[in-house]
Chains A and B, each alone.
Chain A
Amino acid sequence: MDVRLLDAEPTASERDAVDAFLGPSLAIWAGADAVDDGRAAHGGHAARAQRHLLLPTLHALHERAGWISPGGLNYVAQRLTVPPADVYGVATFYALFSVDERPPRVVHVCDDVACRCAGSEALIAQLEERFGPQDTEVDGASWLRSPCLGQCDRAPAALLTEAGESPLERELTMVDAEGVIAILAGGTPPEPPSTTPPQAGEPSLRLLRRVGPVDPESLDDYRAHGGYDALRRALELGPEGVIREVIDSGIVGRGGAAFPMGRKWDAVARQPRRPHYLICNADESEPGTFKDRVLMEGDPFAVVEAMTIAAYATGCEQGYLYVRGEYPLARDRIVNAVELARERGFLGPDILGHGFTFEIEVRKGAGAYICGEETAVFGSIEGYRGEPRNKPPFPVVEGLFRLPTVVNNVETLINVLPIVLEGGPAFAQIGSERSTGPKLFCVSGAVGTPGTYEVPFGTTLRELLDLAGGVTPNLRAILLGGAAGGFVTPDDLDLRLTIEDAREFRTTLGSGVVLAIDDTVDLGRLLMVIAAFMRDESCGQCVPCRVGTVRQEEAVARLLSGRPRGSVQDELALIAEIGQAMRDASICGLGQTASSAIESAIERLGAFA
C-alpha cells in the first residue's frame, strides 16, 4: 500500500530474523520471492493489521544483528507494509535501538542518579581510560552510557546486550571496571543476581510476601503459597463484586498520578464498546525506581493472577504486559509464568471453567521513559512512536486501538490480590484515611541496606530510612519520586509518607523513590543529569516540553559553569518560568514534572545559590 522502499537489501540473517518472528510472507509485495502463481493475493486490512508487530519485529532484527541496518529496516517496512520513514521514526524513538552500525556486544553502563551516588562516574572514567571512549568498537564490543537501569539497590549497574543467533541480555549489578572490561572482552557474564528484598519472610508483608521464599519459576510453589486463591475468590464475587471491593478498598494508582483504581475499572467495565483491553504497564523507567522489577522477578505469577482478576472484573479478553527492555530477567520470569499459567488453564479460554477468556501478550519496551505514561504505551504497542495522547478522550473510553482500556502499573495491580482476599473494607483500614493500603518504596543511595521496602502508608520518612539501616550523618538531601519528583532535606524526615501529606508538603511520592544523597555527591552534576535526562526523554511532540527541557538544561549548565546569563537570580527566574510553562501547557506528566526536581533543589537545598 503505497510503500516506496529503499534500494537497500537485507542480509540473509536479517531476513531470517524477521521471518522467524513474523512467519513466512504471503504476498510478493510483502517480501516473498514467489509465493503464488501471480493470480491472487491477500493483503489489505489483514496486512495493515500487523502494524502492532512493528516493535517486536524491530526487536527480533536488533537482537540478531545488533543494529537496524537500512536493508533490515527496508525489509521490516516491506513485511509489515509500513512506509520506511515510519519504521525509521519508530526505530529512532527508542534508546535501545541503533540505526548506526554497532558491534554485537554492548554494555550499557548506568550513569543516572542512584548509580552516580554509588560511584558510576569513577567506573566510567576507568572504562574510558582502559577500554576506550563510549560507542567505540574494540574487538566486536563497545560500551555506552545509559539512563537508570532500575538496579539502584545494587548500584552501580550495567546491562549487557549481545546480538546473534542466540541473543543474550543480562543485567550486571554492583559492577566494577574490571568486571565490565572482562565482559566486553568476551567473558561470560555472571548469572542474574537473586531477588530477595531486605524484609523477605516477614509475616506482615502483603505485596512482597512471596518474593524470596517462593520459587518464582514454579507455578506449584506459587499455589502452595496462596497463589490463585484470589482469582478463585474473584470468580465467586463476580465482576461487579470485585469492582465493589476495589472501590471499597480506596486504593489509588501507585504510578504517581494516584487515580482511584476502582473508578477506573468501573468505567471500563461499563463501556459498551468491545473489546476492552488491559495493559499492565511495567515500563518502570523513573530514575531510582525498581519495585516493579522486584515483583516481576520475585513473584511473577502474582502479576499474572492480578492481571487475570483485573481482566475478569473489567471485561477484557486481551491483556498486554509491557515490560521495559532493560529488565531481561523480569521478562523471562513473566513469560515463563504466562506460559505455565496458560498450560494449566489459568489463562486462555474458559478459565477455571467459568467461561471467561483471557490472554496475555508480553511486550518488550526498547528504552523510552515516556512509555511509562499511560497513553504513550498505546502508541508503542500499536507500532507507532510512543507519544502521549491528549486527554480526553480518557483511556477508559478510548485507549489501546481506540478501545476502552485499563492501564495499571505492576504494583497497583498486585494490590488487587490482598483486596480480594481480605476484602475492600479491611484493606482500607491499612494506611491513612486517604492513602490506603501498603506501599512499596525503592530506597537507595546513602542508606545501610538499599532495597524495596513495604510499609503501610503513613509511615514516616525517618521510620522508612531506619528500616533500611539508617542514613549516614553526612546526609545532604533525599530525592522523593525520582527525576519527576522533588528533593527534601534532612530536616524533613518526619514527613508522613502519604499522598496527602506529600501534597501538602508540596512534594510527591511519585513512584516510591527514596534516594538518600550524602555530601560526597556533586549536587550540581546530579541536577545536570536530571535536566539532560528530561531533555533526552521528551518525546518532542509538544512544544513546551520539547523546547522547555532544552532551555532548562542550558540554564542549569550555565549556572553550573559559573557563567550565568545576567545574574544567578535571572537564571533561577528563567528556570521557574520555563517550569511554569511546561506545567501549564504540556499534554503529559513528563513535561508537567520535568522541572520539579530542579526547582525543588533550588528552593529547598539552595542549589546554585
Chain B
Amino acid sequence: MFGAGGGTSSYREVEETDLIILWGSNARETHPIFFHHVLKAVHSGARLFVIDPRRTSSAQWADAWLGLDVGTDIALSNTMAREIIHAGLTNERFIERATTGFEEYRASVEPWTLEEGERVTGVPAQVIRELAHAYARADRAILCWTLGITEHVTAVDNVLALINLALLTGHVGRYGSGLNPLRGQNNVQGGGDMGAIPNKLPGFQDVQDDHEARARFEAAWGTKLPPQRGWHLSQMFDAMERGELRTLYVLGENPAQSEADSKRAHELLGGLEFMIAQDILMTGTCEMADVVLPSSASWCESQGGTVTNSERRVQRMQKALDPPGDARDDSWIICELARRLGHDWGQPTPEEAWDELRALSPMHAGMSYARLEELGGIQWPCPSEDHPGSPFLHGRLWAEPIEGPPAPFSVTRWVPPIDELDDDVPIRLTTGRRLDSYNTGVQTGLYRSPLRRGETLDLSPQDAATLDVEPGEIVRVSSRRGSIEAPVRLDTGLRPGLAFMTMHFPDDIDVNILTIDATDPKSGTAEFKATAVRVEKVDGRERAAAGVTSGEAGK
C-alpha cells in the first residue's frame, strides 16, 4: 500500500499487538502458520475480531465475530469510520500530520450511521460499534485480510477502505500496528516484488510513470522496454476473446481450472493458436497445452533462489532433492528458451540473477546472498549492506516532520456484488479453501489427508430443511452461467441463504462453472466470493450418475 504492495508488519509484531482483526480471512484454515502467530497474541491477551460471512474456525477463536453479508465490506468499514469519527476516537494528530483528503473522506462516510451499516451489512449496530471502538481505542492494532477482501469487483476499494481505518486511528507505521494482506503461498509476495505484475518493474517501480527506473532497466538489459502497462489475467482473457492474444506461456498457474466462469476460460484457452504450460505437475492447463515443459519444484529441487513471505522477508532456498526425469529449473528453461529464440543470456546462477536485481531494485540493494544467509532472511526495504532490513513499513509517517508524501484517504463507495440475488437464484454462494487442500488441488491432491472429504455444497441446516435435502444427497447447483451437481454437507457456521464451496476438486466438481468473471477494473481480480445460485433436488436416478468425489460426503 502507498506504492509498495506488501504487509506492513512483522509476524513478531502480530504476536505482540493488542488487537487483531481478520477481515475476510479464515486464517485458521487457510493460513495456518500465520494463525499460530495470531494465537500467540491471543494467548498473551490480545483480542481477536473476525469479519466473515461464515462462522469459520477462525471465528470460533474470536472475541467477536461479525457475520456481514457477502460484499458489504466497504459498508462496514465506512460505518466503523463514521462511528470512530463521531465518538471522537480519531487520531487527530496523525491525520493532521501524515494524511491528506480527510475532509472529503469524512463527508463521504457521513451517511453511514450505525443503523445504515446494520441495514446493509446485516451485522447488529452494537457489534459494529464495539469493533469500531475497540479498534480505535487499542494502543496497538493489526488488520489482516485475505481473499474475502480481494475477490470482489471492488477489490481495490475494499483494501482502500481498510487502509482508511488505519489512517483514521494511526494504526500504521508503528511497531505492533499495521495492515497486512496474508499471502497464500511461500512466494506470492516475491512474485509481486520481482515485477510479475502488469504495471511494475521489480521493486515496485512503475513501468509507465517512473522514467528514471525504466531507463535503468533498459541500460542494464540493453533493450527498450515498452512503457505501457501490461495485461492482468482477466484482461488477457478479454484479449483472447477479441482475438488479440493468440499465444500463451503459462508458468506455474492453472487458469483452466482456477478461473471464474471456467466454461468461458476453457473455451478461450482452447481457442488459442499456441499454448506452452510449464509446471511441476500435469495440471488441467498442461493437458490443454501444445507444449508442456516439466519444471523442478523450486522450493526443494532447484539450486538456490529466494522466496519472500508475507512479512516481506527474503529467504534463501536450498536444494534438497534432485528433480525427477527431465524436469529443469524454471530459470534454466527460460534462459534456454531465450537462447533458442536467438538471445543467449548464458546460464546465470541464481546469485548472479539476484545481484542484477539488487543493482536495479533499491529496496533489495542491501540483501547479498551472504547477508541473507547470515541473518536468516531480511525484510525489505533494505537499501544498503549496512541496513538491517525493515520490520515494519511506513515508520516515515511518524517521523518529525514526516518523510515522503503523506498517506491519502480514499473515498470508497459501496456497491453491491454484480451477481444479484433474485427469486430464481436466491442463495449466495461464496467460495474458499479448507485446511487440508490448496487451491485447485495441484499441490495437495497427491497427498492423502484424513480431513479431506471431497467437494461438497455446504448449506445451513435451515436451508437444507427448507430444500428437503439430506447430508450426502446430491443436489444441482445452478448459477446464471452454469450448473453442477454436488453432495450436500451441513454447516452450522452458515446462516440461511449462505452456501459455501471450495475449488479444490475441479476434476470432480468444477465449482468455477458457477462463478462470475466480473472483475475489478483496478486489480483484475474476479468476484469469486459472490455468486447467486439456486439449489435443487435431483431424483435418485440422477444421483447415481452424479460425480461424487472420494471421501465421505456430509461428514
Interface residues of A (CB under 8 A from B): 1-3, 28-29, 37-46, 81
Contacts and interface: CB of A to CB of B under 8 A. Distances in A.
Given A1-B61, A41-B64, A45-B42, 4 more contacts: A2-B61, A41-B59, A44-B48, A45-B45
A40 B28 contact: no
B496 A38 contact: yes
Contacts of B496: 38
B67 A40 contact: yes
Q: Which 10 A-B pairs have the closest CB atoms?
A: A38-B495, A44-B63, A40-B127, A39-B67, A1-B61, A41-B65, A1-B60, A44-B62, A42-B64, A39-B122
A67 B75 CA distance: 51
B63 A42 contact: yes
Contact of A40 (B123, B492, B498): B123
A399 to B, nearest CB: 19
B50 to A, nearest CB: 9
Given A44-B47, A44-B48, A38 B55 contact: yes
* Candidate in B66, B123, B495 with the most chain A CB atoms within 10 angstroms: B495
24 contacts: A1-B60, A1-B61, A2-B57, A2-B60, A29-B55, A38-B67, A38-B494, A39-B66, A39-B67, A39-B68, A39-B127, A39-B495, A40-B65, A40-B66, A40-B67, A41-B55, A41-B59, A41-B65, A41-B67, A43-B59, A43-B61, A43-B63, A44-B64, A45-B47
Contact of A43 (B65, B66, B67, B492): B65
A166 B494 CA distance: 39
B340 to A, nearest CB: 53
A130 B492 CA distance: 53
A38 B124 CA distance: 10
Contacts of B60: 1-3, 29, 43, 81
A37 B495 contact: yes
* Candidate in B63, B460, B496 with the most chain A CB atoms within 10 angstroms: B63
Contacts, number: 63
Contacts of A40: 64-67, 123-124, 127
Interface string B120-163: 00111001000000000000000000000000000000000000
A2 B28 CA distance: 9
Contacts of B65: 40-43
Contacts of B122: 39
A39 B124 contact: yes
B493 to A, nearest CB: 8
Contacts of B66: 39-40
Contacts of A39: 66-68, 122-124, 127, 495
A37 to B, nearest CB: 7
Grouping DSSP codes into helix (H, G, I), strand (E, B) and loop, the B interface class, with mixed when no group exceeds half, is: loop
A44 B498 CA distance: 24
Interface in B363-413: none
Contacts of B61: 1-2, 43-44
Contacts of A45: 42, 45, 47, 63
B115 to A, nearest CB: 14
Interface string B26-64: 001000000000000010010110000001010111111
Nearest to B46: A45
Given A2-B28, A38-B55, A41-B55, A46 B63 contact: yes
Contacts of B494: 38
A117 B492 CA distance: 59
Contacts of A29: 55, 60, 492
B88 to A, nearest CB: 25
Contacts of A46: 63
Given A39-B495, A44-B42, A44-B48, A28 B63 contact: no
Contacts of B67: 38-41
A28 B64 contact: no
A28 B492 contact: yes
Contacts of A28: 55, 492
Contacts of A2: 28, 57, 60-61
Nearest to A40: B127
A1 B68 CA distance: 20
A39 B76 CA distance: 13
Contacts of B28: 2
A40 B59 CA distance: 10
A151 B460 CA distance: 57
A43 B57 CA distance: 12
A422 B494 CA distance: 68
Contacts of B62: 43-44
A41 B492 CA distance: 13
A335 to B, nearest CB: 33
Nearest to A29: B60
A2 B67 CA distance: 19
Interface string B62-86: 1111111000000000000000000
Nearest to B55: A41
A43 B494 CA distance: 17
A93 B63 CA distance: 31
Contacts of B64: 40-44
Nearest to A39: B67
Interface in B12-36: 28
Contacts of B498: 38
Contacts of A81: 60
* Candidate in A2, A28, A44 with the most chain B CB atoms within 10 angstroms: A44
Interface in B175-229: none
A556 B509 CA distance: 68
Interface in B434-489: 460
Nearest to A45: B63
A39 B60 CA distance: 14
A41 B54 CA distance: 11
A402 to B, nearest CB: 12
B25 to A, nearest CB: 16
A133 to B, nearest CB: 42
Contacts of B42: 44-45
A46 B64 CA distance: 10
B187 to A, nearest CB: 28
A3 B57 CA distance: 9
A327 B64 CA distance: 41
A43 B45 CA distance: 14
Nearest to B54: A38
A280 B222 CA distance: 83
A563 to B, nearest CB: 49
Nearest to B69: A39
Contacts of B68: 39
Nearest to B126: A40
Contacts of B47: 44-45
B53 to A, nearest CB: 9
A562 to B, nearest CB: 53
Contacts of B45: 45
A201 to B, nearest CB: 55
Contacts of B495: 37-39
Contacts of A1: 60-61
Nearest to A7: B555
A118 to B, nearest CB: 52
Nearest to B124: A40
Contacts of A37: 495
A39 to B, nearest CB: 5
A39 B498 CA distance: 12
Nearest to B49: A44
A4 B60 CA distance: 12
A41 B45 CA distance: 19
A40 B51 CA distance: 9
B553 to A, nearest CB: 16
A124 B277 CA distance: 82
Interface string B490-531: 001011101000000000000000000000000000000000
A81 B57 CA distance: 12
B32 to A, nearest CB: 11
A2 B59 CA distance: 10
A40 B63 CA distance: 10
Nearest to A2: B57
A368 to B, nearest CB: 27
